[in-house]
């Protein structure tokens, strides 16, 4: 997700989106995952020079990425969407303080894993499939994809607040799916989330997707296994807890009672509360369709500003 917290910082993106042709390019990439320059030029009936100019604008704005690869007719430039979501704050706040951290998916601090389960780096599967013992392997911190049928992963999020600061909103962005043996696009799973040990609600993943190859999957990753998930945005504030803008519970920051001394934890689980116990898969930066790990964002208020 690209997050623009004030209009001026998004100027390059707005300029890139000011062209109908560039909007069409983004639409093509959203439905085809990736296309080379010749394919884009042919579909839009443009010359190679014209398409190159538009692609350069989109790349400079950060909306797309370009990977160079060898082909039958020489070097090819393959275009991908860089992110799937764009969020813009139209109303700036002078006290809109925030920090964010991106945590590799292998950096979990606690876990429970029931097969089918496994984890892999961008280069290899760690240990043996369906053997939970390898979730404690030292190499697990390099994991880029992790899957389990029942259990949880828990992450410790840095709490950088000072004594005169208070949590206003916590956000988590991550790519998730279900966990089927192999893959199954229609495989609903109830995934629960908790913050600081407090349940904040759940989301039902519709499937463990494998009909198309994940955009960022390494070449060695087998095509018969799960390929990509869905990018989800979880928000917790004083009004409640939300996923992609839809309320998942009335549990808010007042109920969680965090302060600057709190150990901030985030847990993803398929457990006894799940009616559909079909696991989950979490995708890191080098797997799936989104080049990101677990992104945590903390928005906070300064108490002097609140008292003013």
End-to-end, the C-alpha distance of the chain in Å comes to: 34
Domain boundaries, the chain: 2-86, 93-307
Spatial neighbors of 56 by CB under 8 A, at least 6 apart, are: none
Asked whether the predicted pLDDT for residue 93 surpasses 80, the reply is no
- What is the model's pLDDT at position 83? 79
Helix (H, G, I), strand (E, B) or coil at 101: strand
**16 neighbors 58 (Cβ within 8 angstroms):** yes
pLDDT, tens digit, 9 for 90 and up, residues 168-186: 999 999 999 999 999 999 9
Spatial neighbors of 66 by CB under 8 A, at least 6 apart, are: 55, 59, 77, 78, 79, 80
- Model's pTM, two decimal places? 0.73
> Was domain 93-307 assigned CATH 3.40.50.720?
no
Q: Which residues in 17-53 are b (16+ Cβ under 10 Å) and which e?
A: beeeebeebbebbeeebbbbbebbbeeeebeeeebee
114 or 59: which leads in pLDDT: 114
Asked whether the predicted pLDDT for residue 94 surpasses 80, the reply is no
Give alpha helix (H) positions in 6-153: 11-16, 20-32, 37-44, 48-61
Q: Tell me which CATH code domain 2-86 carries.
A: 1.10.10.10
pLDDT, tens digit, 9 for 90 and up, residues 59-76: 888 899 888 887 666 788
Asked whether the predicted pLDDT for residue 95 surpasses 80, the reply is no
pLDDT, tens digit, 9 for 90 and up, residues 257-287: 999 999 999 999 999 999 999 999 999 999 9
Closest CA to 106 of 120, 123, 89, 92: 120
Beta strands in the chain (DSSP E): 2-4, 34-36, 64-71, 74-81, 86-88, 97-103, 110-120, 145-157, 165-177, 189-195, 198-205, 230-237, 240-243, 246-249, 264-270, 280-283, 294-302
Asked whether the predicted pLDDT for residue 20 surpasses 90, the reply is yes
- What is the model's pLDDT at position 9? 62
- What is the model's pLDDT at position 92? 53
Asked whether the predicted pLDDT for residue 40 surpasses 60, the reply is yes
pLDDT, tens digit, 9 for 90 and up, residues 209-262: 999 999 899 999 999 999 999 999 999 999 999 999 899 999 999 999 999 999
> Which DSSP symbol is given to 182?
S
3 or 204: which leads in pLDDT: 204
């Amino acid at each position: 997700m690209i997050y623009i917290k004030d209009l001026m910082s998004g100027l390059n993106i707005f300029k890139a989106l000011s062209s109908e042709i560039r909007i069409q390019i983004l639409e093509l990439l959203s439905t085809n995952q990736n296309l080379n320059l010749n394919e884009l030029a042919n579909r839009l009936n443009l010359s190679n020079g014209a398409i190159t100019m538009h692609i350069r604008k989109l790349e400079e704005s950060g909306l797309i990425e370009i990977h160079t690869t060898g082909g039958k007719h020489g070097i090819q430039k393959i275009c991908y969407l860089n992110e799937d979501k764009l969020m813009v704050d139209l109303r700036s706040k002078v006290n809109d303080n925030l920090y964010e951290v991106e945590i590799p998916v292998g950096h979990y601090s606690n876990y429970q894993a029931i097969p089918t389960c496994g984890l892999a780096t961008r280069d290899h599967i760690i240990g043996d499939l369906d053997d939970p013992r390898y979730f404690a392997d030292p190499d697990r911190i390099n994991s880029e994809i992790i899957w389990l049928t029942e259990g949880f992963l828990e992450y410790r999020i840095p709490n950088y607040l000072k004594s005169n600061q208070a949590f206003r909103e916590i956000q988590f962005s991550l790519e998730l799916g279900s966990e089927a043996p192999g893959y199954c696009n229609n495989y609903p799973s109830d995934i629960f989330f908790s913050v600081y040990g407090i349940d904040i609600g759940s989301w039902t993943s519709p499937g463990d997707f494998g009909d198309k190859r994940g955009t960022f999957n390494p070449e060695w990753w087998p095509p018969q296994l799960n390929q990509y998930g869905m990018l989800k945005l979880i928000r917790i504030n004083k009004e409640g807890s939300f996923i992609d803008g839809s309320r998942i519970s009335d549990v808010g920051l007042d109920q969680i009672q965090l302060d600057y001394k709190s150990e901030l934890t985030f847990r993803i689980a398929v457990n006894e509360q799940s009616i559909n116990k079909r696991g989950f898969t979490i995708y890191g930066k080098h797997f799936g369709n989104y080049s990101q790990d677990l992104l945590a964002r903390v928005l906070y208020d300064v108490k002097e500003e609140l008292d003013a």
